[in-house]
Structure 1
Amino acid sequence: MDENVGNSLDYLEKSNPFECGFDSFRQSTNPVPIPFILIALLFLPFDLEVSSMLPYIVSSYSTGLYGLIFFIIFLLILVIGFTFELNSKAISLFRFLPKSINKSLTIYL
């Protein structure tokens, strides 16, 4: 099929990606660190849970006491899960603080 369309000249510059007119000496993207990926994976469920609170906030007047009790139970489950992740060192929120302050901020379940 290529013979029918025209001649094709293959050389090194054609096979490299175009980088604003200059040859790149190294990889253009930096590797993503593992802690960033872990925080992103932990953020996703909490983000979905927070977005699932929106229907109660919108309809809090019509759900009444039953909706309020359900919402409080839902928040308690979220808080217990978050403290469990903090205590299991899955999330290290206080790693940049000095050790003396870090020990006083430990949450015990």
Structure 2
Amino acid sequence: MTSLFIILSLIIGISLVLAIAGQILPNRSNDNEKSSPYECGFDPLNSARLPFSFRFFLVAILFLLFDLEIALLFPLPTAQTLASMEPFLLISSVFMIILALGLAFEWINGGLEWAN
């Protein structure tokens, strides 16, 4: 019970110190560009409804898709040490085949070509 009291008092104390420091320390002046809501290369002073390239979104989605699939491949070497070799090879082979088929499909349909 006393350790809970100590932890709660530390949390409250640190929160109070940070809140007081945030009020006492001077604020930095933000210019027009820093306070604008756009951070992705758009001109913040013009209209936000400008036409944008569909290829950019397609490449971004493909990047996220393949990045996620690579992240799913990371645990496979550990799974090899925990189980026998046959299920590991089957699961990793099926996963790599699906990944290669998806890449081939995008390549054939021209999804990876930036300029047409």
The TM-score range, normalised by the shorter chain, is 0.5 to 0.7
> Structure 1 CA distance, aligned partners of 2:97 and 2:54?
30
Corresponding residue for 2:64?
44
TM-score for the superposition, normalised by structure 1:
0.53
Kindly provide the CA deviation profile for residues 31-65 of structure 1, in whole angstroms up to 9, marking residues without a partner as x: 86442222011111111111111111222122221
> Structure 2 CA distance, aligned partners of 1:81 and 1:41?
13
Corresponding residue for 1:58?
78
Kindly provide the CA deviation profile for residues 64-102 of structure 1, in whole angstroms up to 9, marking residues without a partner as x: 211111111110111011101100111127x6xxxxxxx
Count of aligned pairs between the two proteins: 73
Percent of residue pairs identical: 25
TM-score for the superposition, normalised by structure 2:
0.50
- Structure 1 counterpart of 2:73, one-letter code: M
> Structure 2 CA distance, aligned partners of 1:35 and 1:85?
12
| Between structures 1 and 2, the one with greater helix share | 2
2:110 is equivalent to residue 89 of structure 1: yes
Structure 1: 5+ residue stretches without partners: 1-16, 21-26, 96-109
Corresponding residue for 2:94?
73
Cα RMSD, aligned residues only: 2.9
